[in-house]
């Protein structure tokens, strides 16, 4: 499983020109699954995301988590995180999980996260949809997390 975390001032996600979801200050999380991933990774990733200290404290040091600052979380499935383009110019996605399995795992992940952290606003995109995301990356702060 691989995620890209971006600290944002705000983010909004549109599908077919209509607002689907939005967050204020928080993190935008793009997540992808490889063919070996399972729900056994959920606890590690959710704990890491909710407690990742990437927000500034009073001294300007990144010492606070999204939970500490009362932030919000937007989760977006993104199979292209497993794109491989070392040869040629067209990426291969052979390392990405098959869509039918990935859709189920993504839904489970969103539900798991929301159920384990009910005090945090957690919204999500729609698996497989063509989505447009607008956001302000604060910092910019972008972190990549990966675990097999």
CATH architecture of 2-146: 3-Layer(bba) Sandwich (3.50)
Q: Judge whether residue 129 has pLDDT over 90.
A: yes
Q: What pLDDT digit, counting tens, does each position of 18-58 carry?
A: 999 999 999 999 999 999 999 999 999 999 999 999 999 99
Q: What pLDDT digit, counting tens, does each position of 60-89 carry?
A: 999 999 999 999 999 999 999 999 999 999
Q: Judge whether residue 148 has pLDDT over 90.
A: no
| Full-model pTM | 0.96
Q: How many CB atoms lie within 10 A of CB 63?
A: 13
Say what the pLDDT of residue 110 is. 98
Provide the β-strand partners of residue 73: 27, 122
CA distance 118 to 92: 37
Q: Judge whether residue 116 has pLDDT over 80.
A: yes
Rounded mean pLDDT, 83-99: 94
Say what the pLDDT of residue 37 is. 96
Q: Judge whether residue 134 has pLDDT over 90.
A: yes
Q: Judge whether residue 90 has pLDDT over 80.
A: yes
Instruction: Compute the CA torsion angle 5, 11, 15, 20 (nearest 10 deg).
Output: 110
CB 42 within 8 A of CB 49: no
CA distance 57 to 148: 32
């Amino acid at each position: 499983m691989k995620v890209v975390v971006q600290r944002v001032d705000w983010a909004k996600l549109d599908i077919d020109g209509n607002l689907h979801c939005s967050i204020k200050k928080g993190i935008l999380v793009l997540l992808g699954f490889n063919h070996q991933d399972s729900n056994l990774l959920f606890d590690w990733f959710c704990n890491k995301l909710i407690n990742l200290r990437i927000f500034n404290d009073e001294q300007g040091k990144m010492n606070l988590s999204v939970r500490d600052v009362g932030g919000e979380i937007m989760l977006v499935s993104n199979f292209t995180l497993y794109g491989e383009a070392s040869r040629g110019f067209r990426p291969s996605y052979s390392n990405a999980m098959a869509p039918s399995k990935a859709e189920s795992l993504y839904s489970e992940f969103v539900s798991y996260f929301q159920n384990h952290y009910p005090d945090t606003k957690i919204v999500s995109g729609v698996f497989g949809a063509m989505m447009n995301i607008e956001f302000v990356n604060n910092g910019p702060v972008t972190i990549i997390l990966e675990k097999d």
